[in-house]
Structure 1
């Protein structure tokens, strides 16, 4: 394991480090599926959708946004989640107040739980979407199903961060 320098000498728990590193991997399959759709790759949807430039840009933006937000989970187990990296102007080197990380991460976990509960309410039955074959439907489900773990893993890592940073 990489040596982690922390302000108060308490290292993140191993399970929290593993969970934090898992989160970006959970968002990757759905992002790759959207990028394939944006690039015009046949993903088995019938009739084949017409993907405009605006659609492609929104798919790419959503994929980058999701992956970027997922990567922020790493801040809960890495030194930059406790002290702002020195190379950042104005804030570099300053201590991160625990609740400056805990509140957004906790709200993020709650928001993800609400979003995915709504988005997956009828999953894996996709409703009106027709597929060229059952394999394409399975692929879509396999790409999006891991997202259901994002909220609970983020909540667990946030709780571990809270215990590590706020418990004396």
Structure 2
């Protein structure tokens, strides 16, 4: 730590050392494999306790349909009591298994069961609890419309829990195959499969949003692509900003696709020289990975909701079937590509990370 002292127009630099501040080599963040499992357990204890509170008729139960119909999260279709019991039980099992994997003494069967359960629990938190709120909030933010409520906060909290359990499962898997906990590399030096498939995953993520973008551009130009002309006319009349909104939504998809290309292009590793101030400098890995991962999670969750709704209509399981069919394929059809879009984007971001990461500071493998 440096302390700058001004005295008689001279700047004197004093070096101070402290064992509490000298974490240059090993910070809490850099030692995440050692505490991530405990953080996941703590999350499950907290969220399980919250569900028990709701089971006892506590206020603030967030899983409500609120008239969203097909656009609501899967968990809202459960009775509140049933949902509370299910998630309280899932949290309890995750705590038990979390403690078990910390001891590293499970046999092969229980080890595989623990890994499968924790991954399944994390995926359930990502797919069954979030709805379309997160992706809508991101999109409308570009129109300077911001909204935040307890339901969205609950969804974000569950996504954090899912990520914690995913990382805890990854660390346990690495330990069971004698790989480095920090980087996952082994003495074999094999290239991760995601790196080999990174180009194809990226291209899927680039092209998947195009059908959605095309319909939105068409509506912005009053072209009834995939919808009844009368419906488009009434929709535009009822929403003065409809044309601007659809133009922005379509543009975000195209812009996102172009940025996604950076995961496999040189300009995704080094800023182009015409960039002011940062031209020619290397792109920080997390500057690409973190935003891509956040968007991938939001898109996948929303896409799962849309896809479930489409199948519900196909098998006549919803009363909204007739009204949506009368509007045409445009409002819902392009969303069938959202799950592949989100999954491909998330995997492409991981492949980008694996490809660009350097030598591991812990095991020395590179």
TM-score category, normalised to shorter length: 0.7 to 0.9
Cα distance in 1 between the residues matched to 2:299 and 2:195:
23
CA-based RMSD of the aligned residues comes to: 2.7
Q: Are 1:23 and 1:71, in contact at CA under 8 Å, matched by a contact in 2?
A: no
Q: Cα–Cα, structure 1 residues 98 and 129, in superposed 2: closer, same or farther, change >3 Å?
A: same
| Shift, 1:45, TM fit | 3.0
Pair 1:154-2:335 in alignment: no
**Structure 2 residue matching 1:102: 3-state secondary structure:** helix
Q: 3-state SS of the aligned residue for 1:129?
A: helix
Matching of residues 72-87 of structure 1 within 5 Å: 72-87=259-274
Deviation at 1:67, TM superposition (A): 1.5
The residue number in structure 2 matching 1:131 is 326
Measure how far apart 1:93 and its partner are: 0.6
Superposition misfits of 4+ residues, deviation over 4 angstroms: 139-142
TM-score (norm 2): 0.38
TM-score normalised by length of structure 1: 0.77
Q: Secondary structure, in 3 states, of the residue corresponding to 2:262?
A: helix
- Match status 1:144 vs 2:331: no
**C-alpha distance in 1, partners of 2:308/2:333?**
16
2:264 and 2:352 in contact (8 A); partners too: yes
* Structure 1 residues 113-146: Cα deviation after superposition (integer angstroms, max 9, x where no partner): 22323444412539233427xxx43x66543312
| Ranges in structure 2 where 5+ consecutive residues have no aligned partner | 1-193, 359-365
Instruction: Give how far 1:47 is off.
Output: 4.8
**Matches for 1:49-64 after TM superposition, within 5 Å:** 49=232, 50=234, 51-52=236-237, 54-64=241-251
State the match for 1:23 in structure 2. 205
State the partner residue of 1:44.
227
Structure 1 residues 118, 92: closer, same or farther in 2, change over 3 A?
same
Partner of 1:5: none
1:87 shift after superposition: 0.7
Structure 1 gap ranges (5+): 1-11
Equivalent residue for 1:114, pick from 281, 284, 301: 301
The structure with higher relative contact order (CA 8 Å, sep 6+) is: 1
Q: Retained in 1: the 8 A contact 2:205–2:344?
A: yes
Cα contact 1:29–1:143 (8 A) shared by 2: yes
SS, match of residue 48 in structure 1:
helix
